[in-house]
Structure 1
């Protein structure tokens, strides 16, 4: 399949920054992982889709109540009350148009890039031609009259109307979907806003960025669906072993007990920064005496998040530099490397740090994105 262009925080069109050299250098570093149990059942954390999970209970997936645009608004990140009110107008307009929450995230992120959520009027020499309003729409390019594009509801409606005409927009990387609407001079600039746009949508809608829209009703995203945040679970499988247990303190991810040859899907849009075998020969089953990840892939996402996919059956289906869509198949579950049976070892790292120092527990991280790991609460 063709891989549409995306952009992540280290690669910004506007500032002409390229992928940081240290990431490329780090891609050759040796992984230090303890045994990953595929056939061996370890401590089971459970599934976040069940009613028994305190974390799931505290992470809602959106309210059907219309977003209010009156009253006081909290500061969210660098954005004060008036800018968050503008974000609320964008979201409410999407609700009224019955656009899914993914569209709200895309629209808010686009306005963050175009105007910093400020309804700009004519700025003189600082204007980009005749661009105006939250989305910097140009009357001369058919977006409407100056008065119209300065109306946040009108501007958001025009954005959504064009977005919904983009084929497959809900499954595209955010920067691709936004660019096909905006036709910006900086087509790769939008994705860096996705994490904060997701947070804004969640805070204003009681968690809708963790949801999908089904029959005009918000539901928590299930396996195979891409949440409004742009994230999805890499496989549907039981959680066989969790992050850094007392028995395995150096286990920097979780083990998902999927069968051999199960397709592995990218958890979110990103750029492949590692695709390799870290052994002399990965084309055979691993064992307790075999070191490393075997065949594995690292993907760099927006906000300097890295996901890692270990113990693939054979050479990954993606190469370094490939730009990946959320849910794209990147390889197949196997048993290469330091492994006792077929499964996917899945890691999440923050701040662009591929070492154990950057690793965080994937279970709450993915639950927060609306892409809970597990197979419906069944233990291995």
Structure 2
């Protein structure tokens, strides 16, 4: 699929960090591609990222003990990961759902970089101390108490649980309701890393939903603890930047005509239009073809952390308009085959750093897997 020229320029591309063990999958499929008709190929022709599946569980194994062996995570040392493990274990002991663990870990990332700070002298923010930079003068406890990671984590969760509807709030709003930070939007950027660390330290719990430590993997319509969900429940039919299609900036998911397309995460709609109206005789009110240019009816949504998702080839005009705020899992359109398409499917893209061009595109299979909402699971 080729988008119009305004979607194809400049910017730097950054791929998210990958820190998990993988097992290879090689399966032969008959596929329906954006760029052509039916074709047979093997998944071992896709990129290495598309061939692999995470060995994470779904949280049933429970959290690692904070004094056990820690995995290796780029950017975080052993002491920081032990602090994260403590935060997760306290949440599990209090029977806080895993989404709360992600919120707590992300908050500590912002407040202290997962470091149990004592008094920092001139760099101290008032009398803030510990993992969550809690202030004794504001009733969080004594200086000794708030520098105890177990105590500090418990106090964070106790206040989080008092926030009405916290489970349904965006991470940054839930964290801010507890912390009352002068920088209320700062927590959002830590959400992917926090979910990744919770997955590593708690048997994939960030991809699970539930009200206790007895967890189940997310399915279509469920929202992972990270706040992400699969936009359709359908198998992968064409991968990201394959050898056969190096300019394919997303993945094709073989959903059926008429299936709902869901917002992959909460955000704001920044594009909702037909990509072909400016190029008569091609239009979006009819099925497209391999010779039809553009995305057809499509939507772009901007999420926390300057992440953008794109949903192409909708059957009808999208259900959402520019400027509209959407929730994770909210229906935004219907699967169709408008634009540069040979049959019904969803073309799905993920872009980083607010860059809607091809330079900002990253592999959706890897990104969604790291958010705990893997793509490519069939109906």
Q: What's the TM-score once normalised by structure 1's chain length?
A: 0.77
- Tell me the residue number matched to 1:84: 81
Cα deviation for residue 198 of structure 1 reads 1.9
Cα deviation for residue 98 of structure 1 reads 1.4
Cα deviation for residue 350 of structure 1 reads 4.1
Q: CA 1:218–1:338 in 2, change beyond 3 Å: closer, same or farther?
A: same
Cα deviation for residue 55 of structure 1 reads 3.3
Cα deviation for residue 125 of structure 1 reads 4.3
Do 1:273 and 1:300's aligned partners in 2 also have CA atoms closer than 8 Å? yes
Using the alignment, how far apart are the partners of 1:364 and 1:120 within structure 2?
Answer: 34
Using the alignment, how far apart are the partners of 1:84 and 1:216 within structure 2?
Answer: 20
Do 1:74 and 1:80's aligned partners in 2 also have CA atoms closer than 8 Å? no
- Tell me the residue number matched to 1:289: 291
- Tell me the residue number matched to 1:127: 124
- Tell me the residue number matched to 2:315: 313
- 54, 57, 62: which one aligns with 1:60: 57
**2:151 equivalent to 1:154:** yes
Q: Give CA deviations for 1:140-172 in whole Å, capped at 9, x if unaligned.
A: 333333333232212211211222233443333
Q: CA 1:246–1:56 in 2, change beyond 3 Å: closer, same or farther?
A: closer
Using the alignment, how far apart are the partners of 1:138 and 1:309 within structure 2?
Answer: 45
Cα deviation for residue 97 of structure 1 reads 1.0
Q: How does 1:205-224 map to 2 (within 5 A)?
A: 205-213=202-210, 216-224=213-221
Using the alignment, how far apart are the partners of 1:373 and 1:325 within structure 2?
Answer: 19
Q: CA 1:154–1:218 in 2, change beyond 3 Å: closer, same or farther?
A: same
**Secondary structure in structure 1 of the residue aligned to 2:210:** strand
Using the alignment, how far apart are the partners of 1:40 and 1:138 within structure 2?
Answer: 63
Using the alignment, how far apart are the partners of 1:79 and 1:366 within structure 2?
Answer: 22
Cα deviation for residue 304 of structure 1 reads 4.8
Q: Which runs of 5+ in 2 are unaligned?
A: 10-31, 44-49, 278-282
Cα deviation for residue 111 of structure 1 reads 0.8
Q: Give CA deviations for 1:25-64 in whole Å, capped at 9, x if unaligned.
A: x9971569xx955996555879xxxxxx983363333353
**Secondary structure in structure 2 of the residue aligned to 1:154:** helix
Q: How does 1:189-338 map to 2 (within 5 A)?
A: 189-213=186-210, 216-245=213-242, 248-280=245-277, 281-302=283-304, 304-338=306-340
Do 2:296 and 2:314's aligned partners in 1 also have CA atoms closer than 8 Å? yes
- 134, 142, 158: which one aligns with 1:145: 142
* RMSD, aligned CA: 3.3
Cα deviation for residue 186 of structure 1 reads 1.1
**What is the count of residue pairs matched by the alignment?**
344
**Secondary structure in structure 2 of the residue aligned to 1:29:** helix
Q: CA 1:88–1:296 in 2, change beyond 3 Å: closer, same or farther?
A: same
Cα deviation for residue 324 of structure 1 reads 4.1
Q: What's the TM-score once normalised by structure 2's chain length?
A: 0.77
Q: CA 1:348–1:375 in 2, change beyond 3 Å: closer, same or farther?
A: same
Cα deviation for residue 72 of structure 1 reads 5.7
Using the alignment, how far apart are the partners of 2:212 and 2:162 within structure 1?
Answer: 19
Do 1:44 and 1:242's aligned partners in 2 also have CA atoms closer than 8 Å? no
Using the alignment, how far apart are the partners of 2:101 and 2:137 within structure 1?
Answer: 26
Q: Give CA deviations for 1:203-233 in whole Å, capped at 9, x if unaligned.
A: 2223222222366323322221112232210
Q: 164-173 or 305-314, which moves further after superposition?
A: 164-173
- Tell me the residue number matched to 1:349: 351
Do 1:290 and 1:338's aligned partners in 2 also have CA atoms closer than 8 Å? yes
- Tell me the residue number matched to 1:362: 364
Q: Which runs of 5+ in 1 are unaligned?
A: 1-25, 47-52
Q: CA 1:258–1:66 in 2, change beyond 3 Å: closer, same or farther?
A: closer
Do 1:173 and 1:326's aligned partners in 2 also have CA atoms closer than 8 Å? no
